[in-house]
Structure 1
Amino acid sequence: MKSLLLLVIRVYWITWPAAWRRRCLYRESCSRYVHRITAAEGLGAGLRALRSRVRTCRPGYAVVRCEGHTWLALGDGSLLEAEEVAPRLLATD
């Protein structure tokens, strides 16, 4: 089953053009993250990683800066450290 999830992700990468994909909030895209976790730790860990990313990825987020620290506040109330966040979201004008 682990191989099936890895195959589905690879097919997604090949068949779904990058321009059509949602831009990920995370530094490591959700599909790359789930692929990496599944390959290293197995199907159960991969499915948990997928569930976690789907739950936190949308809807809404806000960049929070306080006392020299930066986080991304997600719609579910969780916070991501700046190191986990896509750099384009943290860029200041």
Structure 2
Amino acid sequence: MKYSILLLIQLYWLLKSKRSKPKCIFRKSCSHYVFEVANREGFLNGLNALYFRYKNCRYGYEIFTNPITHEIEMLLPSKVVVGNHEIAKRLLTKTIKK
């Protein structure tokens, strides 16, 4: 089962247009993240990673500066906070320019 999800993701990479702009709010694209998790931890964890990314990779996030650590963080729609190492660079540059 693990190899079926890996094969589907590789097929997606082949068919995906190279000219389309990245829209993911995470630094590592959703497909790359799910591929790594499924390859490392198996099919079920890969599906859980896909569900998490699908649920959170949309509008409704909030980027803010943590008042304690002064680091830029992102609050996801599911109320999970992620650090700036996971936020897409294009979103970080927009935040810095403000």
Partner of 1:10: 10
State the match for 2:56 in structure 1.
56
Identical counterparts, % of pairs = 33
Q: Deviations over 1:42-63 (max 9, x none)?
A: 1011111111111111132221
Take 1:38 and 1:21, find their aligned partners in 2: how far apart are those partners?
25
Q: State the secondary structure of the residue aligned to 2:28.
A: coil
- The number of aligned residues is 93
Q: Give unpaired runs (5+ residues) of structure 1.
A: none
Alignment equivalent of 1:83, drawn from 73, 79, 85 = 85
TM-score by length of 2: 0.84
Name whichever of 14-23 and 76-85 sits farther off: 14-23
What's the RMSD between the two structures over aligned residues?
1.5
Q: TM-score, normalised by structure 1?
A: 0.88
Q: Look up the SS of the partner of 1:80 in the other structure.
A: strand
Superposition deviation, residue 33 in structure 1: 0.6
Q: Could you tell me which runs of 5 or more consecutive residues in structure 2 were left unpaired when the two chains were aligned.
A: none
21 and 10 in structure 1: CA distance in 2 versus 1, 3 angstrom threshold? farther
